[in-house]
Chain A
Amino acid sequence: MSNNLLFDFTVDKASKTVHIKREFNAELSLVWDAFTKAELIDQWIAPKPMIAKTKYQDFKVGGKRFYAMVSPEGQERWAIQEYTSITPKTNFKMHNAFADAAENPELPGSEWDHNFSEENGTTIVNITIYNESLERLERILDGFTQGMKMSLANLEDLLATLSKK
Chain B
Amino acid sequence: MRRDIFQAIADPTRRAIIILIASQAMTPNAIADNFHTTRQSVSKHLRILTECELVKQKQEGREIYYSLEVEKMKEIDKWIEQFRKIWETRFNQLDTVLATIKKQKK
B41 at the interface (CB under 8 A from A): no
Chain B residues within an 8 Å CB radius of A22:
87, 91
Give chain A nearest CB distance to B40 CB in angstroms. Answer: 23
Chain B residues within an 8 Å CB radius of A46:
90
Q: Which chain B residues in 62-102 approach chain A with CB under 8 Å?
A: 79-80, 82-99, 101-102
Q: How far is the CA of A13 from the CA of B14 in the complex (A)?
A: 12
Chain B residues within an 8 Å CB radius of A138:
6, 79
Asked whether, in the complex, the Cβ of B95 is within 8 Å of the Cβ of A24, the reply is yes
Q: How many A-B residue pairs have CB under 8 A?
A: 84
Q: Which chain B residues in 1-52 approach chain A with CB under 8 Å?
A: 4, 6-7, 9-10, 12, 15
> Interface size (A, Cβ < 8 Å)?
35
Q: How far is the CA of A1 from the CA of B93 in the complex (A)?
A: 12
Main secondary structure of the interface of A (DSSP, over half): mixed
| Known contacts A14-B12, A47-B93: A31-B98 contact under CB 8 Å | yes
Asked whether, in the complex, the Cβ of A44 is within 8 Å of the Cβ of B93, the reply is yes
Candidates B4, B9, B95, B99; contact of A133 at CB < 8 Å: B4
| Known contacts A13-B9, A47-B89, A134-B6: A24-B94 contact under CB 8 Å | yes
Asked whether, in the complex, the Cβ of A26 is within 8 Å of the Cβ of B6, the reply is no
A107 at the interface (CB under 8 A from B): no
Main secondary structure of the interface of B (DSSP, over half): helix
Per-residue contact bits, chain A 17-45, to B (CB 8 Å; 1 contact, 0 not) = 01010101110001100100000100111
Known: A26-B102, A43-B93, A47-B89. 11 other contacts (CB 8 A): A2-B92, A9-B87, A30-B98, A31-B98, A34-B97, A34-B98, A134-B7, A134-B10, A135-B4, A141-B82, A145-B82
B→A interface (CB under 8 Å): 4, 6-7, 9-10, 12, 15, 79-80, 82-99, 101-102
| A/B interface sample: 26 pairs, CB < 8 A | A1-B88, A1-B92, A7-B87, A7-B91, A9-B84, A11-B80, A13-B6, A20-B87, A24-B91, A24-B98, A30-B98, A34-B97, A34-B101, A40-B101, A44-B90, A44-B91, A44-B93, A45-B90, A46-B90, A47-B86, A48-B89, A133-B4, A134-B4, A141-B86, A144-B82, A148-B85
